[in-house]
Amino acid sequence: MNEEILPVKIKKSGPVNSRPVILTLICLFCYVFFSLLALFFLAGIIWTDWVITVTNQYAPSELFSATRIRFYFIAGFLLHLLALTGSILIWRLKKTGYFLLGLSCLAIASIQSLVPQITITTTAAYILLLVLLGIFYRRLH
């Protein structure tokens, strides 16, 4: 009955990389922004026929074709979903998240720059998000 009581050895983990507060706020904004826009584009995909009839009622029919509107909704949904995935990975401090978000933001901004009806401020919002998240690129691993 001579048993020794040994202390429990706890493994010490490495340094914990904490997320900066500003990066947390930007990621939360990205969650809301990209998820709402992805939901709006998904609703546009579901009710494309209604959107086409309303658009053709108020705009000349040769300006917007049904295929073009459907393509915009599908591309917008996929690109915003990709950006949402990138912001989730940035939340987890992964560099691949920045690349996914950057690819989708640049694609959205370039598509918006080709369409004359879209204002420059919406394009600038995507570029600004990309620049703000790029500030924290060195923190990502």
Kindly state the average pLDDT of the residues 79-107: 96
> How do residues 27-49 score in pLDDT, each as one tens digit?
999 999 999 999 999 999 999 88
> How do residues 13-26 score in pLDDT, each as one tens digit?
666 668 899 999 99
Length of the chain: 141
Residue 62 CA to residue 102 CA, distance in Å, equals 33
- The pLDDT value recorded for residue 132 is 95
Of 16, 9, 75, 14, nearest to 41 by C-alpha is 75
Q: Is 60 exceeded by the pLDDT of residue 116?
A: yes
Query: The tokens 């009955």 sit on which residue?
Result: 1
- The pLDDT value recorded for residue 127 is 95
Residue 3 CA to residue 26 CA, distance in Å, equals 56
> How do residues 55-91 score in pLDDT, each as one tens digit?
878 877 666 777 888 999 999 999 999 999 999 999 9
- The pLDDT value recorded for residue 82 is 97
Q: Is 60 exceeded by the pLDDT of residue 140?
A: yes
Could you tell me which residues come within 8 angstroms of residue 82 by beta carbon, excluding any fewer than 6 positions away? 100, 101, 103, 104
Say how far residue 80 (Cα) sits from the centre of its chain.
5
Q: Own/partner pairs for 103-109, CB < 8 Å, 24+ apart?
A: 104/79, 104/80, 105/129, 105/130, 106/130, 107/79, 108/76, 108/79, 108/80, 108/83
- The pLDDT value recorded for residue 2 is 65
